[in-house]
Chains A and B, each alone.
Chain A
């Protein structure tokens, strides 16, 4: 990238940065620091990659730039002038457009209608559809983003929808385009096409911010990149100056905050046995592709990987939330295909769900009732007709104490608790059923340090007592600290099996997570125990 030098009114000015965000700090109401004094800048006409793990703070940074979030500190400079971006509309006025991961399109409307929505050209009382179509066509041709302006969005494949989103931003005068993981939903062919289009956009003077996890894509497409980790920028680099391994090291490196003391595992019999599992998700995409592994009594098997690489679907199948799959899943030797959620739970399975507010609690119900959900009909808590309030109360008091749930009384509504305490309610309920198999999906996401430490310790204790644990986490600290062994998932497949987590360094892990390296089938096959 060459830097232009201008002399304006005798003043030497490095006109290199089109837009810069300086010292951005964003603290969410729950106390999580998403961005900490982040500097980020882009030059006119470049494709700038923004990379980082889940939760590294890149989405927050982009939300701030697009006016969806407001920072506590920091300034945004556009063309040398400080600007305020109070809303998406303000961002659009400043020529900043965003293509969200979830498309902001109206399915039953045509491409042209979606394009002009909110600023429709008029002919008398009517929408001037002819003009809308013509403008869409013109814009599409200019940027070589070929779409049929009269097609309905719902009939279009994902790749084309994305083109419409890009066009929508351009139609509103965007010169800086933020693309949030645009290739996550695309096929390789569509990705190739997108890259060509982005190059064309760049050649015409537009600037693109490209958020991605896929390093080879960044290598192929981008000029510079900014790496984020734990809410901080790790620096800006020319893509040509850094190797994939460098990027991976900077991005996946971790700061060990919490150490968990644990003995080596002493694995016993196989409890969970996943055998050639393939899952097709609701969008018809093969989310899990022919994977096999097993988890034994007394061990924690971690599942590492960038989110959205099939972990969610894997958990849904094992816990019975989703039923249709190919291949077999056996828990304590029982094939779960015909089993209901209840029957799977009765095999000794418990589940800490990823989305605790949807699956983990009923927020307007009190703590006691929430603690009862999975065992409300067990003979321990209910007689032939009536429940046993005394036993239930004893149980809830015991769990509140044991799990240090901070609350006024067991009758307090769950929604009045902090995130960490809500998660403790979930964990207390699930762990108290003396589980054979624990499925822990992001068990400490978004909660405070104290609760995190507590839950992690608990997991190790249960392992020592003989539970088999499958730990799915996008938090590297967590998987590396807690797991005895781990598998790495990428693109719905297992790319590595690490028998002893302690032998692994994060650099190596990063290469597997981002699909740069992959073990041989024999090595991966070691994840299956008999």
Chain B
């Protein structure tokens, strides 16, 4: 039965993706002068060169981190959308260390990343505390705090780290010792991808093989039951959000140290929102986060290539994302078939 259910969930996901892609394709046909070219670039472009495939992997790295972060918070049934702000502030914190501190090679990025994680944890912990203590909606407070994070971060860059000779509002150059080494020649894929993979494994183990992960999942699925079983649900809720914030913060640090020469974000980079999409695609299962992240990154890079080589803009992927989320999250989407499946199973069992 559980195998059948997984099969059902998988086919449902695939169908949702197919419908979303179809809508995108129709849109492309509708707006493009050269739809064939646009389509083939969109769907196959990322596979056509090492560099482009490298782009997919590069884009995957931040998505892995925010996807994991969101999946942990959602597993505890907490709609904390602060991964966005935590990611941004993580980047700011590590920029500070990378610019202002002089440390030996490996230790420099390690310390910067760790600090980024701590800053992210503190940031996502705020809505958690507000919720547990005063029952303030973590959803609204985290949304607002994202903007606070943005302006706080820009302030730090502008007043403490800004390179006035650089023209635009960017930080000083990051120290060479702080940067993450490149992994694949011909691409910008950096050491962060290994950390990300490690993180996936760690979070998987955390969620499914430790008591803390068990508590988080149990609290998210049925908090009354968790309480009855002797679990202190309030601390579990806070823990989940601290962890989520930490991972998002680490992700932001790694993105900055791996991909940039200077800190140059002027707005929130949006990876926190992307993390929600990845988490939904992966059904909050850490083991599936890489699949979701790869898929989304592939779409993004494909769309990007398409917009560069044809007359269709990359933003078409937002439509795909939206449709996918809604359909995958829709309980009633194909519920009819699922019901049949359950019914059939029940009948098989009874005979």
Contact = CB atoms under 8 A, between A and B. Distances in A.
Nearest to A344: B230
A418 to B, nearest CB: 9
A463 interface: no
A358 B225 contact: yes
A36 interface: no
Interface residues of B, number: 24
Contacts of A374: 229-230
B110 to A, nearest CB: 22
B217 interface: yes
A372 interface: yes
A359 to B, nearest CB: 4
Given A372-B214, A387-B211, A416-B1, A365 B232 contact: no
Contacts of B266: none
Interface stretch (A81-89, A204-212, A232-240, A405-413): A405-413
A342 interface: yes
Contact of A382 (B211, B218, B227, B228): B211
Given A365-B217, A366-B2, A413-B2, A377 B225 contact: no
A364 interface: yes
B232 A340 contact: yes
Nearest to A345: B230
A389 B209 contact: yes
A359 B230 contact: no
B179 interface: no
B144 interface: no
Q: Which of A364, A376, A416 gathers most chain B CB within 10 Å?
A: A376
B224 interface: yes
A365 B215 CA distance: 13
A342 B235 CA distance: 14
B215 A376 contact: yes
Interface string A319-357: 101000000000000000000111001000001010000
Contact of B2 (A376, A387, A411): A411
B337 interface: no
Interface string B313-351: 000000000000000000000000000001001000000
Interface residues of A, number: 34
Interface in B216-264: 217-218, 221-222, 224-232
Contact of A385 (B210, B218, B227, B230): B210
A386 interface: yes
A135 to B, nearest CB: 40
A53 to B, nearest CB: 27
A412 B342 CA distance: 13
A373 B215 CA distance: 9
B205 interface: yes
A295 interface: no
Nearest to B221: A362
A387 B227 CA distance: 20
A361 interface: yes
B210 A373 contact: no
A377 B224 contact: no
A382 B210 contact: yes
Contacts of A366: 2
Contacts of B214: 369, 372, 376, 387
Contacts of B308: none
14 contacts: A341-B228, A345-B230, A358-B224, A363-B222, A372-B214, A374-B230, A376-B218, A377-B211, A382-B210, A382-B211, A387-B211, A387-B214, A411-B2, A416-B342
Interface of A: 319, 321, 340-342, 345, 351, 353, 358-366, 369, 372-374, 376-377, 382, 385-387, 389, 408-409, 411-413, 416
Given A364-B221, A376-B215, 7 more contacts: A321-B227, A358-B224, A373-B229, A376-B211, A387-B210, A387-B214, A411-B2
